[in-house]
Amino acid sequence: MALQQGTKLLLKQRFAPVQRLCSELLEVPLADLDNRIEAEQEQNPYLEQEIELVETPIQFETTEKIGRRTDKGEFFDYWFQDDGDQIYRVSKQDDTTEKEYGSSFSVSLSEELLEQLRLTNVDQYEYSLGEMVIGNIDEKGYLQRSVDAIADDYFFDKGEEVNIEKLHKVIRIIRTFEPAGVGARDLQDCLMLQLERIDGDSEELTLAKEVIDKYWDLFFKKNTIQIEKKMNLNQETFERILNLIHTLNPYPGHSEEGMADNSSILPDFKVWLSDGVVKFNLNRQYKRSLKVSKEGVRMLEKFQKDPDKHEETINFLKNKIEAANIFIEAFNQRESTLERIMKAIIDLQYDYFISGDLAKLKPMKYEDIKNVTGYTESTISRMANDKYAQTHFGTFKLKDFFSNTLTNSDGEEVSSEAVRNCMLSILDSEDKAKPYTDEQLAELLKEKGFPISRRTVAKYRDKLGIETASKRKNI
């Protein structure tokens, strides 16, 4: 058979550096944006920014009540809780504490865990489970919510039952992430996770595991004499065990640079009514202009006149200037993407944004925004994550505007928020001496056009923090 030589044109899609960086910046909330830009400038002296203060950004203390309207026009109040956008950073130079708004992107535990999750061999479904699990890890690094509770959260957010076996698998994977001990159920579990990560089979390591595993109650109560007696250890050996245990971190979620303080949030968007028309904009604190250093460009042009002599310097300058241009383009794409997606959200939920009435919150999924904007669902998910909108009827996470689809008795799609709102109205008018059981609630909801099961009613009730009928009667 004769050999033949020819050319073949292949079309391959590459994830360009600017797209990758834009994807990263899209996840950064307004509270962290300044820190992210400053970090980039520290690495690249040829990226510059000019800022002009536009106005003091809107900021809300999380101790204030934020309400959502019911179909009666009343407010269903709840206390807002946030992942935290303030840190207290201790200065190494003078040991004073300074207050900074915006958590540093580099010390965000959830972002670190999500980045590690992306590098694991999990499918898209398992990744979405991982996002839910990581979202339930507290500031100490512990996962204290039960598997059933996390499954319920997933059901309400996604509208589908959870594969419990896969959820357990994802939790096991996350427990192998850094920092060691993250995802632990409690302090004992946290210390054991860290001991299991230590390489080697020394006597101290083996005995330390035994102390934490079998004699935890005595160890926690500092009853060292009893432990030494039960394990037949001398004081010197036990001190070596204690020294090893004391090197472990009881709170792996706490960074060395500081802890998050959940006292305030910084909304990414402002939404308001003007003459009956819904308007919005980015909550810009500054009129910001990113640019490449003119001095860097001038130096590059100068050294390029003698390329053989300054090859290393030329390559350095080219790389830094190119990196600055990529960051500027990615930042500008971030701004336009945020505005375009928020506009699509408001357009699809326009009636809701007019009044804040939950009954008018339509079913909306990431796919619906994708069909309008052309962005992928993963892009929309990253944009909505940890972003807030301050409206004329309250401040909410962007994810609150997305709602699962249910079908009413007329075959129409309705929002799961509408079902929950209807349930609240029923419970508000119930006889407190004879509160409705879940079966009765299911029947009443069916009469109002929402045919859902008793089990689903129980999940909605738990999600809303409402006790069972017997406990409500006792209250």
Tens digit of each residue's pLDDT, the chain (475 residues): 455 555 554 444 444 677 778 878 888 888 888 888 888 988 888 999 887 766 544 444 433 333 333 333 333 332 222 333 322 222 233 333 333 323 333 346 887 888 888 888 888 899 989 988 998 888 788 998 888 888 887 877 777 788 999 999 999 999 999 888 999 999 999 999 999 988 777 888 999 999 999 999 888 877 888 888 899 988 888 888 888 888 888 888 865 443 334 345 788 999 999 888 999 999 876 778 899 989 889 998 888 888 888 888 888 989 999 999 999 999 999 999 999 999 999 999 999 899 887 767 788 888 889 999 998 887 888 788 778 898 888 888 888 788 665 555 555 555 666 677 788 888 888 888 888 888 888 888 888 777 777 877 877 777 667 888 887 775 5
pLDDT at 287: 76
Residue 62's nearest CA partner among 32, 82, 87 is 82
Is residue 413 within 8 A of residue 447, CB to CB? The reply is no
Phi then psi dihedrals of residue 407, to 5 deg:
-110, 130
Q: What are the domain boundaries of the chain? A: 107-174, 187-245, 405-474
**Locus of tokens 């250890």:** 233
Is residue 269 within 8 A of residue 389, CB to CB? The reply is yes
For residue 300, the tally of other CB atoms under 10 A from its CB is 18
DSSP H/E element including 98: strand 97-101
388-391 and 269-274 beta bridge pairing: parallel
CA count, 13 A, side-chain hemisphere, 317: 18
Spatial neighbors of 152 by CB under 8 A, at least 6 apart, are: 459, 462, 463
DSSP alpha helices (H): ranges in 349-357? 350-355
Residue 419's nearest CA partner among 79, 156, 241, 47 is 156
DSSP H/E element including 77: strand 75-79
Full DSSP string of 427-452? HHTS-TTSPPPHHHHHHHHHHTT---
Residue 31's nearest CA partner among 82, 96, 90, 81 is 82
pLDDT at 83: 32
Both tokens of 140, joined, read: 């100490």
Spatial neighbors of 363 by CB under 8 A, at least 6 apart, are: 403, 404, 405, 406, 413, 414, 415, 416
Give residue 282's identity as a one-letter amino acid code.
Answer: L
Both tokens of 127, joined, read: 């990744």
Spatial neighbors of 436 by CB under 8 A, at least 6 apart, are: 426, 427, 430, 444, 469
Q: pTM of this prediction?
A: 0.48
Full DSSP string of 377-389? HHHHHHHHTT-EE
**Spatial distance between the Cα atoms of 458 and 281, rounded to a whole number of angstroms:** 39
* The listed CATH number (2.130.10.10, 1.10.10.60, 3.40.50.920, 1.10.760.10) that belongs to domain 405-474: 1.10.10.60
Kindly state the greatest CA–CA separation across the chain: 93
CA count, 13 A, side-chain hemisphere, 76: 21
Peptide bond between residue 250 and the one before it cis (omega within 30 degrees of 0): no
Beta bridge partners of 224: none
